[in-house]
Structure 1
């Protein structure tokens, strides 16, 4: 039984990462919240409109996720892992 312990722990960790991977809506909500905090109401409204018009592209990597701005040169906006979303850039 000891030799199965490590593969079981790794498999359980991978399943946990896959189950807790944040959705696109969680990413959009966190980005909107961060934009409101940094820029104020008017900029947040413009940012929300851009999000709804397809400004962001969601990348699901099964164990984690990322949101990338697809206007001009693609750049990372947020990263999600274990149910948490970290906003890297709101510009």
Structure 2
């Protein structure tokens, strides 16, 4: 997970990137599946998305995923050290 934007807990947008392509995939999360764990997500967290691939109405991407369910696979609690860990691989 690369970024998350929260709009008054009514809708979230996640930018997802697994490193295989330069562009991100936008995930739309509607309020009916938002919970406290999803609100704790931050850059570097590992998630599994179940949803529908749809044409985007936005200008920045052609497609996006409208999520039906999100499984959190892992949290990254200290994302300040991401660059440090990447440089030491």
TM-score w.r.t. the length of structure 1 is: 0.26
The structure number with the bigger radius of gyration is: 1
The higher-RCO structure (CA 8 Å, 6+ apart) is 1
More helix by share: 1
